[in-house]
């Protein structure tokens, strides 16, 4: 609900459990008065204090008043140069070379439903689900208009933000920084949690107290990156999984980003999230506008678990555009780790034939099917079927796969080109490179300049031909290197600071075209695994290959970290061969299955090499997944223990929204002799109901929530244990 008090220029956003408030003060400065647990409302600017602070300048409009300074007030969207020395949200270079803007309130408007952003990913919502507030600020001297968009999803406790900057003046201005979100909070005593890592070990949470000054993470790799995720949490020092105040901030963007937090001299804190200012400079000619990516905020006073579940629900219902909706997606087998580049049609059909009787429904042909692609150093860019490997093209192969009762999926990497390719030989200037310099290679490939329409059009036409040549129901859209040599032949020198962002817009445009032309196609995102796992990609690709690391034990950490912002149904996760190819670790099929099931679920191995016993286990595993998919896909997710903390096991649960059904998963760590007894305290159940556990005894919900369930002792490392709980209606004697 949005309460617009025009008279007092007071703007209050209420969600079910939170309140967010702004007020334009006597000078027209938009102040941020409150964001936290829901309060009744009223004018919360009474919380703000004013005093004379040395070295904190007073704006010209304040005259001789020394107690008013932008340097100390909580701001909603702070431009640089006006006496606020904290991290700015906006830095504008005026036609005269100045870097100062003074944004003052102009008007506010409420609109039913959720705003959309042209060409950019954004949460969507009907009038029943969301409302929009648009606050317009203006800089009179530059004649610059800044529109702040707020989307309020009351039931999800989610607030989205985006900003549009319009040049209404007669000169050209340049944006040096345009953040999506600025959040000023009182107090300096916060912890910052970021999600960091590397290729094959993405999104590990890292928590540290805010120190005085600026702390930031980000990406300048052209993608959101394996190294840092565009999602961060500010939380109280005492906040944990089930208690404490926390603020989650997510940027729906797949390119360079920065998440910067600052603890100021007077113990207030600021979080700024948006496109990274590195090599960003956007020219706005008279009349032109720039729209930032969207950011989304969730506040929870019941810890990280509740925060995550709010993001999960909102993402599932108002961000993903999944052709399957809540219907179960097919269980897939992917050819990559089974064959790498070494296959022909018979080998592929053999792989599929070994999988179909086990209940696997979708066969995905990974890399190696096109051009002269016999290794990773050639062929990218040539999106025509390699008829030497696949005589008769895709159609012949798909017919054989479908005859096994399976559907067919395909891997592509449209943004890339190998120098050893027909495409590169014909259009060497289509790859990003700086004139006079040889471009850096990554995995022996260069990056196509997707900021250019003719490049996108050419690649799109080739992809469309391939995807129309056979019945393809799934595509894995990969992207296997970071951007370097970022310079576009299509832009003037003073506009080269636009290339990174235009590249991302180009990727989004391609994905949108694909969605429009093939509305039933399920697209899985991928960038060397989880190098572009972000809310922006999720708008186009409702699932993303979580990591190239398929080791079940490492995946416990990767999927745990990923779950802080993103729901399990978005995490591409497969059972792969053991010993694992990335770590050499051995884990049981049951353990690998339980971990993969908490994502999209599938196999990434040659199932023909499995023993009869293993095949039976796999058949049962697939059956189990199909039976419980609704819980796994749409249940609420509870992190019961952390794989990063010393403990005998990692546990998590999927609980139906009504609390009547739950699937609890547990994987033990490396074992020791004479282990102590432990019980696992569950969450999300109804204390007043009794639950039948694994079809056997009845357990009272309140006991499971407080005392927990006793965990049997296991022999061996990395054992798994699954509990299926179902509430029974009549209260019968428990135990
Ligand atoms: C990337 C992906 C893998 C696989 C290979 C193919 O590394 O993450 O899953 O598709 O590319 O080259």
pLDDT at 31: 98
Q: What is the pLDDT of residues 464-489, one digit of tens each?
A: 999 999 999 999 999 999 999 999 99
Q: Is the pLDDT of residue 413 over 80?
A: yes
Please name the residue that has the structure tokens 């370097």.
484
Q: What is the pLDDT of residues 612-640, one digit of tens each?
A: 999 999 999 999 999 999 999 999 999 99
Q: Cα(308)–Cα(245) distance, rounded to whole angstroms?
A: 13
Task: Check if 370 has its Cβ closer than 6 Å to any atom of ligand 1.
Answer: no
Q: What is the pLDDT of residues 318-331, one digit of tens each?
A: 999 999 998 999 99
Q: Cα(15)–Cα(72) distance, rounded to whole angstroms?
A: 28
Residue 731: pLDDT band (50, 70, 90) is low
Q: How far is the CA of 342 from the centre of ligand 1 (A)?
A: 14
Q: Whose CA is nearest to atom 7 of ligand 1?
A: 528
Residues linked to residue 522 through DSSP beta bridges, in sequence order:
474
pLDDT at 79: 96
Residue 734: pLDDT band (50, 70, 90) is low
Mean pLDDT for 662-672 is 96
Is 351 strand, coil or helix?
helix
Ligand 1 pocket mutation pick from 226, 334, 525, 548 by most atoms within 8 angstroms of CB: 548
Q: Cα(129)–Cα(136) distance, rounded to whole angstroms?
A: 23
Q: What is the pLDDT of residues 149-195, one digit of tens each?
A: 999 999 999 999 999 999 999 999 999 999 999 999 999 999 999 99
Q: Is the pLDDT of residue 733 over 60?
A: no
Residue 732: pLDDT band (50, 70, 90) is low
| Residues in CB range of 161: below 8 A, 6 or more apart | 148, 149, 150, 151, 180, 181, 294, 295, 296, 297
- Using CA atoms, how far residue 332 sits from 92, 556, 562, in Å, is 49, 21, 22
pLDDT at 451: 98
Mean pLDDT for 524-545 is 98
pLDDT at 210: 98
Task: Check if 336 has its Cβ closer than 6 Å to any atom of ligand 1.
Answer: yes
Which of these is catalytic: 76, 154, 498, 534? 534
Q: Whose CA is nearest to atom 1 of ligand 1?
A: 528
446-447 and 474-477: which strand pairing? unpaired
Which of these is catalytic: 5, 422, 471, 614? 614
Could you tell me if 86 and 32 are in contact, meaning their C-beta atoms sit under 8 angstroms apart? no
| Residues in CB range of 241: below 8 A, 6 or more apart | 303, 304, 305, 639, 642
Ligand 1 pocket mutation pick from 333, 369, 376, 526 by most atoms within 8 angstroms of CB: 526
SS3 content of the chain, % helix, strand, coil (to 5): 20, 35, 45
| Residues in CB range of 426: below 8 A, 6 or more apart | none
Task: Check if 524 has its Cβ closer than 6 Å to any atom of ligand 1.
Answer: no
Q: How far is the CA of 340 from the centre of ligand 1 (A)?
A: 9
Please name the residue that has the structure tokens 């289509």.
430
pTM over 0.75, yes/no: yes
Task: Check if 526 has its Cβ closer than 6 Å to any atom of ligand 1.
Answer: yes
| Residues in CB range of 667: below 8 A, 6 or more apart | 552, 553, 556, 591, 594, 595, 649, 650, 651, 718, 719, 720, 721
Ligand 1 atom index nearest CA of 476: 10
Q: Cα(505)–Cα(433) distance, rounded to whole angstroms?
A: 19
Query: 14: how many CB neighbours lie within 10 A of its CB?
Result: 18
Q: Is the pLDDT of residue 82 over 70?
A: yes
Sign of the Cα torsion 613, 616, 622, 625 reads negative
pLDDT at 41: 83
Task: Check if 604 has its Cβ closer than 6 Å to any atom of ligand 1.
Answer: no
Task: Check if 514 has its Cβ closer than 6 Å to any atom of ligand 1.
Answer: no
- Write down the mean pLDDT value for the chain: 97
For this structure, is 614 an active site residue?
yes
Task: Tell how far CA 508 is from the center of its chain.
Answer: 15
Q: Cα(135)–Cα(606) distance, rounded to whole angstroms?
A: 56
Ligand 1 pocket mutation pick from 528, 543, 547 by most atoms within 8 angstroms of CB: 528
Residue 607: pLDDT band (50, 70, 90) is very high
Task: Check if 413 has its Cβ closer than 6 Å to any atom of ligand 1.
Answer: no
């Amino acid at each position: 609900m949005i309460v617009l008090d025009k008279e007092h220029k007071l703007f209050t956003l209420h969600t079910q459990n939170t309140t967010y408030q702004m007020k334009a003060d006597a000078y027209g400065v938009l102040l941020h008065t409150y964001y936290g647990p829901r309060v009744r409302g009223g004018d919360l600017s009474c919380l703000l204090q004013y005093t004379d602070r040395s070295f904190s300048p007073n704006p010209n409009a304040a005259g001789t008043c020394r107690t008013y300074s932008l340097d100390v007030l909580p701001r909603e969207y702070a431009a640089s140069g006006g006496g606020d020395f904290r991290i700015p949200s906006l830095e504008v270079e005026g036609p005269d070379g100045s870097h100062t803007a003074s944004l003052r309130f102009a008007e506010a408007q409420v609109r039913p439903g959720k705003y959309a952003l042209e060409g950019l990913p954004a949460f969507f919502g009907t009038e029943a689900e969301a409302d929009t507030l648009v606050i317009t600020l203006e800089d009179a001297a530059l004649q610059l208009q800044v529109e702040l968009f707020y989307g309020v999803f009351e039931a999800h406790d989610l607030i989205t933000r985006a900003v549009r900057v319009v040049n209404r003046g007669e000169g050209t201005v340049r944006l040096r920084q345009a953040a999506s979100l600025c959040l000023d909070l009182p107090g300096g005593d916060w912890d910052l949690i970021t999600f960091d890592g590397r290729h094959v070990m993405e999104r590990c949470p890292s928590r540290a107290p805010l120190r005085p000054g600026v702390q930031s993470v980000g990406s300048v790799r052209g993608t959101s990156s394996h190294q840092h995720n565009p999602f961060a949490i500010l939380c109280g020092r005492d906040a944990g999984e089930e208690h404490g105040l926390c603020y989650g901030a997510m940027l729906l963007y797949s390119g360079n980003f920065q998440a910067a937090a600052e603890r100021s001299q007077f113990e207030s804190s600021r979080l700024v999230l948006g496109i990274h200012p590195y090599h960003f400079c956007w020219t706005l000619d008279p009349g032109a506008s720039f729209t930032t990516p969207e950011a989304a905020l969730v506040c929870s006073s019941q810890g990280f678990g509740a925060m995550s579940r709010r993001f999960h629900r909102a993402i599932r219902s108002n961000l993903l555009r999944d052709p399957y909706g809540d219907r179960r997606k097919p269980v897939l087998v992917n050819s990559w780790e089974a064959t790498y580049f070494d296959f022909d049609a018979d080998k592929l059909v053999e792989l599929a034939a070994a999988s179909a009787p086990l209940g696997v429904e979708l066969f995905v042909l990974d890399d190696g099917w096109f051009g002269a692609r016999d290794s990773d150093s050639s062929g990218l860019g040539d999106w025509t079927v390699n008829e030497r490997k696949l005589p008769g093209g895709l159609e012949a192969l798909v017919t054989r796969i479908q005859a096994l009762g399976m559907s067919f999926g395909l891997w592509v990497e449209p943004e890339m080109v190998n120098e050893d390719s027909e495409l590169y030989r014909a259009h060497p200037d289509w790859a990003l490179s700086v004139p006079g310099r040889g471009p850096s290679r990554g995995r022996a490939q260069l990056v196509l300049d997707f900021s250019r329409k003719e490049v996108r059009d050419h690649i799109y036409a080739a992809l469309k031909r391939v995807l129309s040549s056979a019945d393809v129901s799934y595509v894995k859209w990969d992207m296997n290197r970071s951007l370097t040599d970022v310079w576009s032949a299509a832009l003037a020198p003073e506009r080269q600071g636009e290339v990174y962002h235009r590249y991302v817009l180009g990727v989004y445009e391609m994905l949108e075209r694909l969605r429009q032309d093939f509305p039933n196609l399920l697209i899985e995102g991928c960038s060397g695994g989880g190098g572009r796992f972000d809310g922006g990609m999720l708008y186009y690709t409702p699932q993303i290959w979580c990591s190239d690391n398929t080791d079940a034990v490492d995946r416990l950490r990767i999927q745990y970290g990923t779950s802080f912002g993103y729901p399990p149904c978005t995490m591409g996760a497969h059972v792969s061969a053991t010993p694992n190819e990335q770590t050499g670790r051995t884990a049981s099929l049951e353990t690998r299955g339980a971990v993969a099931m908490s994502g999209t679920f599938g196999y990434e191995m040659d199932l023909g090499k499995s023993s009869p016993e293993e095949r039976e286990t796999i058949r049962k595993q697939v059956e189990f997944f199909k039976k419980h998919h609704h819980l796994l896909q749409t249940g609420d997710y509870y992190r019961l223990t952390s794989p990063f903390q010393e403990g005998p096991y990692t546990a998590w649960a999927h609980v139906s929204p009504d609390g009547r059904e739950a699937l609890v998963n547990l994987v033990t760590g490396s074992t020791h002799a004479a282990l102590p007894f432990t019980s696992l305290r569950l969450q999300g159940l109804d204390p007043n109901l009794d639950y039948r556990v694994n079809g056997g005894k009845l357990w009272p919900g309140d006991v499971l929530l407080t005392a927990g369930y006793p965990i049997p002792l296991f022999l061996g490392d990395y054992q798994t244990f699954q509990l299926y709980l179902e509430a029974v209606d009549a209260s019968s004697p428990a135990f």
